[in-house]
Structure 1
Amino acid sequence: MIAWQLCTSLFDIEKWILPSPADIAKQTAEGAGGLWGHVLATVKLTLEGFVIGTSVGLLIALILHMIPFLKSALYPLLILSQNIPTIALAPLLMIWFGFGLLPKLIVITLVCFFPVAVATMGGLKQTDRMMLNYMRMIGANKRQIFTKLELPHALPSIFSGIKIAATYSVMGAVIAEWIGAEKGIGYYMMLQKAGYRTDRMFVAIMIIVALSLMMFGLIALLEKWLVRWKPKQES
């Protein structure tokens, strides 16, 4: 931050090209009141999309885990879904579903579900074979094996995927707002870009980073509360 401030001062860099940290802080303080509504809109959209995307990812992972032949058939399609740029798909969703809430939620869901699904399937697959065989020997059914062994053992991996999805959800919300919105940080960025207000663009970027860190931190706290044990690492 110090180097950034010194460079903008020493080399007389124009504010519309690269504002200094002091300029960004000043703009943040002056525009805090007007930004609050945009922040709340983005937070609301982020949370809704994150919950839906995480739920979809968990559901897909559980279905593919329970029905192995479906995994061979559908897993390549899951990977293919991530090869389509979200920014390219978003306009199509707006055409198909209009400019309401639904296409925005679909964009965030597409961004969030994949890391959750992959991490969950990986965690369930790495269940301790010895414990699995032992539970089968004592007559445990599939439901008991899943709830008592597979799911608890997979929780660290599941939360790893959820933490990635939490940070991606903010990005997905901003992208969705770029395409069509009346309020939100993404909408605010588009307005400032049109006016070459680079300082306000940096303010929006700082807010996006802060929201992503907050989402990650909340999921990390939830993981610490729920996962009281960690599988021992092999030496």
Structure 2
Amino acid sequence: MKKDWLKGWRPLLVLLLLFVTWEISVTYLNIPKWLLPPPTSIIKEAIIGFPNFWPNMVSTSKLALLGFTIGAGIGLLTAIILHLIPFIRESVYPLLILSQNVPIIVLAPLLVIWFGFGILPKMIVITLVCFFPITVAALDGFRQTSPELKHYMMMAGANKMQLFWKLELPFSLPSLFSGLKISATYSVMGAVISEWLGAKEGIGVYMTLASSSFRTDKVFVAIFAIMLLSLIFFALINLVERKLIRWQSNGGDRK
């Protein structure tokens, strides 16, 4: 128990050491605040500017959550179709891989030209970022289903759909949640990028205005807020995973 407690504090101790080193280095080397502000200046700005920053954080959170939900649904549906219909998987899967080689930051201006400055291009950006890890993770989970259990169910008379819903889908949940956790963190990044397309508020807008006015402390506040949101999303997915997959959280195995 004591070792587990120490392990939990190790990342915080490393982070604290990093901030102390950062503070001392900036002060000792006389680095201008507009170039690299010390952590104390960033914390001070976060506290003072919190009332103005909070609406931007809420806006980005809503956008990321909505985009993640849509992306997760599309990603899981795509994985199910590709798994159940091999012909479509062989035809489409290489194209899905190629789609991830197109930089989102390059595609974003085209989405504005095609769909305007509304919420649609923002949802497309976040969906493109989120759906692929879920699709790949779910497909891997489907393929890792125990052959012995599958053979046993087929001997019991189960058809293809029964095999999927009663065996393959439950068996794929650990892999699926791995993809969900990756996509949850990506969704925040996607939301910030989408806000660069033209939004009235959000962390992306806040960061752009701060950068253009050389308020580096505000830029770091936005960066840390993005990291915090990603950690919160990751923790929520991890909590749902532990509640849903009890055998995994209890240290059991699949057998």
* Equivalent residue, structure 1, for 2:158: 140
* Equivalent residue, structure 2, for 1:163: 181
Q: TM-score, normalised by structure 2?
A: 0.90
* Equivalent residue, structure 2, for 1:174: 192
By how many angstroms is 1:140 displaced? 1.1
CA distance in 2, matches of 1:233, 1:61: 22
* Equivalent residue, structure 1, for 2:240: 222
* Equivalent residue, structure 1, for 2:41: 23
Structure 1 residues 22-80: Cα deviation after superposition (integer angstroms, max 9, x where no partner): 00000001100000110111011001100000000000000000101111110001001
- Is 1:117 equivalent to 2:132 in the alignment? no
* Contact 2:247-2:253 within 8 A present in 1 as well: no
CA distance in 1, matches of 2:31, 2:61: 34
CA distance in 2, matches of 1:148, 1:181: 44
Work out which of the residue numbers 102, 109, 119 in structure 2 matches 1:91. Answer: 109
CA distance in 1, matches of 2:211, 2:156: 65
Structure 1 residues 3-32: Cα deviation after superposition (integer angstroms, max 9, x where no partner): 000001111110010000000000001100
CA distance in 2, matches of 1:36, 1:233: 44
Structure 1 residues 87-109: Cα deviation after superposition (integer angstroms, max 9, x where no partner): 00011001100000000000000
* Equivalent residue, structure 1, for 2:202: 184
Percent of residue pairs bearing the same amino acid type: 56
Work out which of the residue numbers 212, 222, 226 in structure 2 matches 1:208. Answer: 226
CA distance in 2, matches of 1:93, 1:193: 24
SS at match of 1:69: helix
Q: TM-score, normalised by structure 1?
A: 0.97
* Unmatched tracts of structure 2, length 5 or more: 1-18
CA distance in 2, matches of 1:228, 1:77: 36
CA distance in 1, matches of 2:197, 2:158: 51
SS at match of 2:106: helix
By how many angstroms is 1:233 displaced? 8.1
CA distance in 2, matches of 1:63, 1:147: 13
Which aligned pairs between 1:123-134 and structure 2 lie closer than 5 A?
A: 123-134=141-152
Paired letter, 1:2: V
Question: Cα RMSD between the aligned structures?
Answer: 1.2
CA distance in 1, matches of 2:247, 2:118: 43
CA distance in 2, matches of 1:81, 1:144: 32
Q: Tell which deviates more after alignment, 26-35 or 135-144.
A: 135-144
- Is 1:71 equivalent to 2:81 in the alignment? no
Paired letter, 2:98: L
Paired letter, 1:132: K
* Equivalent residue, structure 2, for 1:42: 60
By how many angstroms is 1:179 displaced? 2.0
